[in-house]
């Protein structure tokens, strides 16, 4: 096992190429996400989408190309190329080029890139502005890294979900970063807004075109949140033109239609998302909301039951319940929930560690130590390994003291 290397400040993580994230679908309340799904069924034509009916006007798909154009997110200008040449020119080692480029982008005396969750934009905008959110930073770093001759790609991370107290809704954040492949099975992740490793539920590379779709989807969801249905619809449709097989983008479009009062069009979008991805919890949950609004109790109950079944099959739901019990120091209940989560996801280092903690709190030192050892064996982040080892050392000292 190779541990991930994490630097201070902006994140640069070394990852092993043989570790595969497990993908767990979760219930979502219509949040903006990017995911790649395929289906053997007939692909729905985006050009045939129902127009948006707004204030007595009809807004059709034909207006999208002119009013929601896609910028070149990765275009570089002379200043950017000079920057790359200055800090990486003449460096033969790809790994050293990556390190020097990363230091130059984050360094206070160089580019000094700052995190701003609202700072969207293409690579050139980010470079000259000096601030970025996770997606726009990915645009910048992919563009600069490729200019430096590195194999840089977009990657999105699914975040471990957090349910409400009643377990009916879940908040899930989609996070985008960059993966750099250096050859010889060596990879690094680059991130402007590092996330705790325990919160990551899965990862997947996305294409440049899918990244463009996510750019439009972010604009669409911001517009929807601000009540601008016209811009939301234009950018939501443009996202689908770029990635028509992305299920969650259809869910987002359905949310826009529902807000506009076009319930049948919203329903159609949600159902098509489920055709693309039969396990899309977001589409199911949005159908529950829609049918509740319309008073269609039988349909609402059907999808509510589907949501509940999928929730109980999700290891992160049981882990979340374990976390709630642990917060109350009910370690027997926490242990039960963590064990249920581990039965579904047996090689997750964070679940192994949490289970070990529960045994430790229940004074079962032998079992606790075994879980901490398993957590160390399966972990890939050096910082996680250090935490697990420290806890194991504490347990072993107590065992020696008691012997």
DSSP 55: T
Q: Is residue 1 part of a domain?
A: no
HSE of 62, CA atoms in CB hemisphere, 13 A = 1
Same domain membership, residue 181 and residue 77: yes
- What CATH number did the domain enclosing 85 receive? 3.10.620.30
Given a cut of 60, is residue 156 above it in pLDDT? yes
Range of 12-16, 193-197, 222-226 with top mean pLDDT:
222-226
Read off the DSSP letter of residue 3: P
118 and 178 both lie in a single domain: yes
* 141 shares a domain with 81: yes
Instruction: State yes or no: pLDDT of 72 exceeds 80.
Output: yes
The pLDDT confidence band at residue 45, using thresholds 50, 70 and 90, is very high
Distance CA 174, CA 222 (A): 14
User: Which band of pLDDT confidence, cut at 50, 70 and 90, is reported for residue 33?
Assistant: very low
Which residues 6+ apart lie within 8 Å of 237 measured at CB? 46, 49, 61, 64, 68, 253
Residue 14 pLDDT > 90, yes or no? Answer: no
Q: Of the candidates 179, 206, 233, which is a domain's last residue?
A: 206
The residue among 8 and 211 whose pLDDT is bigger is 211
Domain assignment of residue 389, given as a range = 315-402
pLDDT of residue 43: 74
Name 191's bridge partners. Answer: 11
pLDDT (tens digit, 9 = 90+) per residue, 111-124?
999 999 889 999 99
CATH number at residue 271: 1.25.40.10
Q: Are residues 80 and 189 in the same domain?
A: yes
Number of domains in the chain: 3
Q: How far is 305 from 314, CA to CA, in rounded Å?
A: 14
In this structure, is residue 353 part of a structural domain?
Answer: yes
Tell me: do 51 and 62 sit in the same domain: yes
Residues 329-361 have pLDDT tens digits of 999 999 999 999 999 999 999 999 999 999 999
Lowest mean pLDDT among 40-44, 187-191, 227-231, 232-236: 40-44
> Do 278 and 357 belong to one domain?
no
At 131 the pLDDT is 96
User: For tokens 């890939």, what's the residue?
Assistant: 380
158 and 260 both lie in a single domain: no
335 and 378, same domain (yes or no): yes
């Amino acid at each position: 096992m190779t541990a991930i290397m994490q630097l201070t400040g902006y994140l640069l993580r070394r990852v092993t190429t043989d570790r595969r994230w497990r993908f767990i679908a979760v219930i979502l309340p219509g949040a903006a996400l990017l995911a790649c799904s395929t289906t053997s069924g007939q692909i729905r034509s985006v050009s045939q989408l129902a127009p948006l009916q707004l204030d007595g006007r009809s807004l059709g798909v034909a207006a999208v190309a002119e009013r929601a154009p896609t910028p070149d997110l990765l275009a570089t200008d002379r200043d950017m190329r000079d920057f790359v040449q200055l800090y990486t020119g003449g460096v033969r080692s790809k790994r050293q080029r990556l390190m020097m480029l990363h230091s130059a982008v984050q360094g206070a005396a160089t580019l000094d890139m700052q995190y701003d969750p609202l700072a969207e934009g293409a690579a050139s905008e980010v470079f000259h502005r000096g601030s970025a959110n996770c997606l726009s930073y990915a645009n910048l770093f992919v563009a600069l890294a490729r200019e430096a001759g590195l194999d840089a790609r977009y990657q999105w991370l699914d975040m471990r979900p957090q349910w409400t107290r009643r377990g009916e809704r879940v908040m899930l954040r989609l996070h985008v970063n960059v993966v750099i492949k250096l050859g010889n099975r060596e990879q690094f992740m680059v991130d402007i807004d590092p996330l705790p490793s325990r919160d990551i539920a899965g990862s997947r590379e996305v294409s440049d075109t899918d990244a463009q779709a996510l750019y439009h989807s972010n604009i669409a969801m911001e517009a929807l949140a601000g009540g601008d249905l016209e811009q939301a619809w234009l950018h939501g449709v443009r996202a689908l033109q770029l990635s028509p097989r992305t299920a969650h983008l259809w869910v987002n479009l359905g949310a826009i239609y529902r807000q506009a009062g076009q319930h049948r069009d919203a329903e159609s979008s949600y159902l098509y998302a489920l055709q693309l991805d039969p396990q899309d919890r977001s589409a199911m949950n949005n159908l529950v909301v829609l049918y509740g609004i319309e008073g269609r109790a039988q349909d609402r109950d059907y999808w509510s039951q589907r949501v509940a079944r999928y929730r109980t099959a999700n290891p992160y739901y049981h882990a979340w319940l374990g976390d709630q019990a642990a917060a109350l120091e009910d370690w027997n209940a926490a242990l039960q929930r963590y064990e249920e989560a581990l039965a579904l996801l047996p090689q997750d280092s964070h679940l192994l560690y949490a289970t070990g903690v529960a045994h430790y709190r229940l004074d079962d030192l032998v079992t606790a130590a075994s879980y901490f050892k398993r957590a160390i064996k399966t972990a890939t982040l050096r910082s996680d390994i250090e935490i697990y080892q420290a806890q194991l050392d504490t347990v072993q000292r107590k065992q020696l003291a008691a012997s």
